[in-house]
Amino acid sequence: MPQRLSLTYTSGLILETIAGGLSYGFDIIDHTGLPSGTVYPALRRLESAGLVESFWNRGEPEKSGGPPRKYYRLTRSGRERLHLLRERFPLLERMAK
């Protein structure tokens, strides 16, 4: 059962970043300037709440020689929540770009 999640600016910034096409954890950290200790727990909460879903890209590391990467994408509920967050935090859309 998805947990209830409060409407925070940090959650909104992460959702906005994912909506903008940056869906890999380190890309989200680099783009937002938030520390990993904030981003990764927030991503877990967003996933538990059903606002994002994750998947592993196991084919790409074979090319780069690195480990598999976990990517995130918005769910329908995540897109709806992002719309509410944009209304609550008008600068959110500009800050994520």
Task: Say if residue 40's pLDDT is above 90.
Answer: yes
What is the C-alpha to C-alpha distance for residues 65 and 67, in angstroms, rounded to an integer? Answer: 7
Domain 9-95: state its class: mainly alpha
Residue 4 reports pLDDT greater than 70: no
Which pTM value belongs to this model?
0.84
Tens digits of residue pLDDT in 44-85:
999 999 999 999 986 655 566 677 889 999 999 999 999 999
Instruction: Quick: pLDDT tens for 13-29.
Output: 999 999 999 889 999 99
